[in-house]
């Protein structure tokens, strides 16, 4: 039967209501104090909310348990787990030789550049876990 859809189950409706509420609750507030429709429909942080430190805090918590000077010996360093080549390529060495030696603000500045060029896939496991991609 072309063009026919199954009637949604109550469970499906409940999930949709919960998802919509969660998106609205997580969306940043607009000028009038309400979340915009565009912001509430996406699970990834919007461009304006990417600037917020809370976004990077969440990512760092997933990547390094929020330890901005992490160096566990696995080749990834800092709170956002940069490789040495990424840190260098995106200008991190203007601040410190390695990410874990830079401040949180400096790491976030470099992360924004990485995110602008590579998107959230630069942190594949955590952004998937956080539902940003």
pLDDT digits (tens, 9 = 90+) for 63-84: 999 999 999 899 999 999 999 9
User: What structural domains does the chain harbor?
Assistant: 65-130 (1.10.530.10)
What's the N-to-C CA distance of the chain in angstroms? 34
pLDDT band at 46 (very low <50, low <70, confident <90, very high): low
Length of the chain: 133
pLDDT digits (tens, 9 = 90+) for 80-120: 999 999 999 999 999 999 999 999 999 999 999 999 999 99
Do residues 79 and 67 make contact, with C-beta atoms less than 8 angstroms apart?
yes
In a 3-state reduction of DSSP, which class is residue 82? strand
Do residues 126 and 63 make contact, with C-beta atoms less than 8 angstroms apart?
yes
């Amino acid at each position: 039967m072309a063009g026919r859809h199954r009637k949604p189950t109550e469970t499906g409706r409940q999930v949709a209501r919960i998802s919509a509420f969660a998106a609205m609750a997580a969306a940043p507030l607009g000028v009038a104090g309400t979340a915009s429709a565009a912001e509430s429909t996406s699970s990834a942080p919007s461009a304006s909310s990417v600037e917020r430190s809370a976004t990077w805090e969440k990512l760092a918590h997933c990547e390094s348990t929020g330890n901005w000077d992490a160096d566990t010996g696995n080749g990834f360093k800092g709170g956002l787990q940069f490789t040495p080549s990424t840190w260098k390529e995106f200008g991190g060495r203007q601040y410190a030789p390695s990410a874990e030696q830079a401040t949180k603000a400096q790491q976030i500045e470099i992360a924004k550049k990485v995110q602008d060029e590579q998107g959230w896939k630069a942190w594949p496991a955590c952004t998937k876990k956080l539902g940003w991609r």
